[in-house]
Structure formats: structure tokens, C-alpha cells
Amino acid sequence: MRIDPRLIIGVVLVVGSTVGVTSLVSGLDDASEVYTAATTLSPGDRITADDLVVERVRFGAPAIRYLEPDALPRDGLIVVSTVRKGELVPVASVDDVDRAGLATVVVSSRAALPRDVEVGALVDVWAAHRVERGAYDPPAVIVPGAEVAATTGGGGIVDGGAASVELLVPRERVAVLLEALAAEDVIDLVPTRPTDE
């Protein structure tokens, strides 16, 4: 009995299609639903599902655990370390209470802000104390590694407008910074650089 070649081709196509669908379904089964940040999340922010986007991601052997939808309480979580827009949200970056030990202070810079002073950037706060009209003490860092939470206003002396920056400052440095602001010291923000650069 002669077998029609078209029948063999049909069987091969059906088997191949079945294997392909099975592989696809298996791949989807290996994917996990995790959250990514809809916007840049800063320490101290309280986030809910409205601030996050669900993504399906396949992990080989993840060393970092990421926030899953069923792990987010109805009243949200507190961000304890910065997560930039579009990044996966590590479990270690959120907590149910604010343990960041940070306070928000608004600072106006006398000079134009560098381009890399943006939300999530780290800056050193430099201050020069005025001892008399037109005379200042040498500048010094009064708050190292403060995180930028928001920026408003213009670009300082470049456009004649004040550039205000919301900084996340360790609580133990808040008094020093407020004292400098009250004394109308000259304040400058200088972006920090990673040690490996």
C-alpha cells in the first residue's frame, strides 16, 4: 500500500505545531509577574499599585528578589532606595515602614544646576558662610551624598531664576543644612561621582 506524501507532510506539520505550542506554553509558565516602576521612585515615597506596572519576566536563577503583585499590601509600601522609571522593583528597595531615616529639605542653588542633577541623582551640598559683606569662609561639604527628590524653577544665574531642589537628607544633617539656609550661606550642589569612574 502506497502512502500519500501529502499525508506524511501533514502529520509532520501537525507534530511540529504541537511541539512549538507546548514549548511556548512552557516558556510562559516559567515567567513570573513582577512590578516595574512607572516613574522614578525615591526613598520615603509611599507606593501603591497605581505607581507600578506589572511585567512578565523569565528569570534563570535570580540573585535578587523582585516585588510581585501578591506581595503588595493594599495600603502600599515605603520606598527605601531609589528605583528608576522602568526598572524592576527589588524587594529590598521597599518596606512596610519608613526606615530610610531621611527628611526632605528644599534648597535653592545660586548657580545653574548641572545637567545631571535630576531626580535620583546624588549630590554633595557645599556651603560658604558669609563673614561680612562680600567676604566668605572657604566652602565645605555640609551634606555628602544627598539624593535629589525633585527639581523646580529655572537654572540659577543663567536665566535669572532660582533653581530649587528637594533633597533627601539624613536626619542628623538636617540641622546643619537648615542653619546654613537661615544664615543665607552660599549653597552649591555638586553631583557625586561613582568611585569606579
Domain with residue 74: its CATH number is 3.90.1210.10
Q: Quick one: 50 and 126 in the same domain?
A: no
**The three grid cell numbers given for residue 170, joined into one nine-digit string:** 539624613
Q: Quick one: 124 and 63 in the same domain?
A: no
Q: How far apart are CA 8 and CA 75, in angstroms?
A: 60
From residue 20, alpha-carbon distances to 13, 15, 16, 69 in Å are 10, 9, 6, 29
- 151-167: average pLDDT: 64
Q: Is pLDDT of 26 > 70?
A: no
Q: Quick one: 60 and 137 in the same domain?
A: no
Q: Quick one: 78 and 36 in the same domain?
A: yes
Q: Is pLDDT of 196 > 50?
A: no
Q: Is pLDDT of 153 > 80?
A: no
Helix (H), strand (E), coil (C) string for 51-104: HEEEEEEECCCCCCCECCHHHCCCCCEEECCCECCCCECEHHHEECCCCCCEEE
Q: Quick one: 6 and 66 in the same domain?
A: yes
Q: Quick one: 129 and 178 in the same domain?
A: yes
The model's pTM is: 0.55
- 97-115: average pLDDT: 78
pLDDT in tens, 7-16: 667 666 766 6
Q: By residue range, what is the domain housing residue 23?
A: 1-98
Q: Quick one: 121 and 52 in the same domain?
A: no
Number of domains in the chain: 2
pLDDT band at 88 (very low <50, low <70, confident <90, very high): very high
Residue 56 in contact with residue 24, Cβ under 8 Å? no
Q: What are phi and psi of 172, to 5 degrees?
A: -75, -10
196 is a domain residue: no
